[in-house]
Amino acid sequence: MNTSGPTLAIARNTFTELVRQKVFFFLLIFALLIIGNSAFMAKFSFQEQFQMLKDISLGAMSVFTSLIAILATANFLPKDMEDRTIYTLLSKPVPRYRYLLGKLLGIIALLAVATLLMSVLFLAILWLRESTVLAETRAQLQGASAEEISLALKEVTNATFNANLLPGIVIIFIKSSLLASLTLFLSSFATSSIFTIIMAAALYFIGHLQATAREYWLSGVDVEWWSRLLPALVALLFPDLQAFNLTDDIIAGTAVPVALFLNTAGLGILYVTVYFTLAALVFSGREL
Amino acid sequence: MSGRKFLAIGLLGVFGAAILPFQSQLQAKAQAAHFRKAGLSIDLRERIGQAGFLAALSGFRSPLAAILWIKAHTAWENTEWGRMAGLFETVTTLQPRSLTYWDMAAWHMAWNASVAALQNEKQPSEALRIRAQRAYIQLGKDFLERGISNNPDRPELHVQLGVLLRDKLEDHCAAADEFLKAAQFPDAPPYAARFAGYEMAKCPGREREAYDYLRRLYQAGEKQRLPTLINLLRKMENNLDIPQSDRVASEDKPSEN
């Protein structure tokens, strides 16, 4: 028996449904943002231009993928119940966890395509700006020594594309997948999509403070036990989202060691798996 | 149903406890690789406001820094030097690993703001104008020094500090040391080593050391044999009475430089 069939069919259907809801229109805003940014930045030095182009583009990429992850995931369960499609699906021999897995895979596929499209757009603009600045530099340095020209060109290329941007983008995708599975867990017991969205947004902010809470809790600061209870709860129950913010430093030129990248990616995948398992556990007992 | 919910939350807590050591280890690894080092303090919270601080905490440090940098640029266009310095302070706190921000902040302060302070027509006292000029140069130097301490693995800011010490403070001995520090990095620009030698030559008491250093550079290959270096070696050979047989510069044709 082909067990992956129904899961993939649900995933495909979820992806198609989200595309039909014109989710990709956000790409237009993303394009306007980075093209506008790149035109506006012309008055800055090329180092500043590239720095800000990367800052704004990767920041926007992170915002858009996080929003899609939370909104798309929070919406599907209430919508399927309202449309009654969930009853049709679950009346067939499809276990509940497979239904959830299909939905999650569909959303993750959407996030992957969205991240890929934004990355292509961002890298294309970066490449175009680099070509323009390189041509300007060559024109300005006509008659200079070969060493001077090569140094100046190297300075431009160093300020633009950096191979570390790619692992940074992968981590943005993994973080958004984590948010999708966290939202899935919340929606497995939530009664409305509004509740799920508000809770997921709150968890997003708390998750970014998890590392601070963890440090405070583990540092053994000499205070009353109850004042350490809240940080302990935050450290234990919430994901460490700050661990996935590598791009801030990558943009600044910091290189990502392979071990750090693999560990961060592994942590993200582990969170996705755990939140999905817990969502399946709660959803399997839910009265529909 | 509610039993499963509690079970799920309990399991989440167990999972959280199980991965605590891994999370702490990952954070240590990240910090060792110069990630997650930005100091988001109460002082920064006061400077960027609640919304800005929330954005910085939520993983939007770099876009926030870019927006504040644009503000600083507007302040520059309006020649609001004090406001600019404050914004630079915030931007560099948000993005301490960005060399561009440290470098540009230092340049604006030590070059633009200092010259503007010296030429400030609203200040009739020349002594006060000079004092303000020095204060801005010092501010620029301070940006570079803090940039270096935040980026100890990079040569670029050592070069910029060397340039500032050379051109703005005329402290050739300190400039030579900075260029030397930069030259020790494998990815240092090739001129850093030459600049170290040129500045060392201007540092009283280090002339012989400078000659030996420049001579080693000269012997390192054609790439370092630039007219400035050859002319300086020639001049130093005369000043230091280097025997004709030991002179290296005679092999080269006189240059126009």
Task: Give me the sign of the Cα torsion angle A274, A249, B62, A43.
Answer: negative
Q: What angle do CA A63, B66, B103 make, to 5 degrees?
A: 145
Q: Give pLDDT tens digits for B16-47.
A: 889 888 988 999 999 888 887 776 677 777 77
Contacting B residues, span 90-149, partner chain A, CB-CB under 8 Å: 95-101, 103-104
What residue segments make up the domains of chain A, in order of their start?
4-284
Phi, psi values for residue B184, rounded to 5°: -75, -15
What contacts 24+ positions apart, CB below 8 Å, involve A24-33? A24/A114, A24/A117, A26/A64, A26/A67, A26/A68, A26/A114, A27/A114, A27/A117, A27/A118, A27/A121, A30/A60, A30/A61, A30/A64, A30/A118, A30/A121, A31/A121, A33/A57, A33/A60
Higher local confidence (pLDDT), B97 or A273 = A273
Chain A residues touching residue B98 (CB < 8 angstroms): 51, 251-253
Q: For residue A264, which residues of chain B lie inside 8 Å, CB to CB?
A: 26, 30
Express each pLDDT in A233-281 by its tens digit.
Answer: 888 889 999 899 888 888 888 889 999 999 999 999 999 999 999 999 9
Q: C-alpha distances in angstroms, B41 versus A129, A134, B98, B139, B147?
A: 36, 40, 19, 21, 18
Nearest CB to A44: which of B26, B73, B97?
Answer: B73
Alpha carbon separation from B156 to A48, A158, B16 (Å, rounded): 15, 12, 42
Residues 6+ apart with CB under 8 A from B80: none
pLDDT band at residue B244, thresholds of 50, 70 and 90? confident
Nearest of B103, B109, B77, B78 to residue B182 by alpha carbon: B103
Under a CB-based contact definition with an 8 Å cutoff, are residues A94 and A280 in contact? no
**Inter-chain touch B60–A235, beta carbons under 8 Å:** no
CA distance B191 to B180: 11
Asked if B28 is an interface residue toward chain A (Cβ–Cβ < 8 A), one would say no
d(CA B113, CA B126): 16
Residue of B nearest to A250 (CA): B35
Over residues A155-182, the mean pLDDT reads 91
- Does the pLDDT at position B256 exceed 50? no
| A114 vs A28: CA distance, rounded Å | 12
Please report where in the chains the tokens 């993939």 appear, as a residue: A8
Residue B78 CA: distances (Å) to CA of B72, B75, B84, B192: 10, 5, 10, 35
**Ramachandran sector of residue B255 (left: φ over 0; alpha: ψ -120 to 50; beta: rest):** beta
How high is the pLDDT of residue B121?
A: 84
How close is the nearest chain A Cα to the Cα of B59, in Å? 6
- Which of A48-57, A128-137, B109-118 holds the top average pLDDT? B109-118
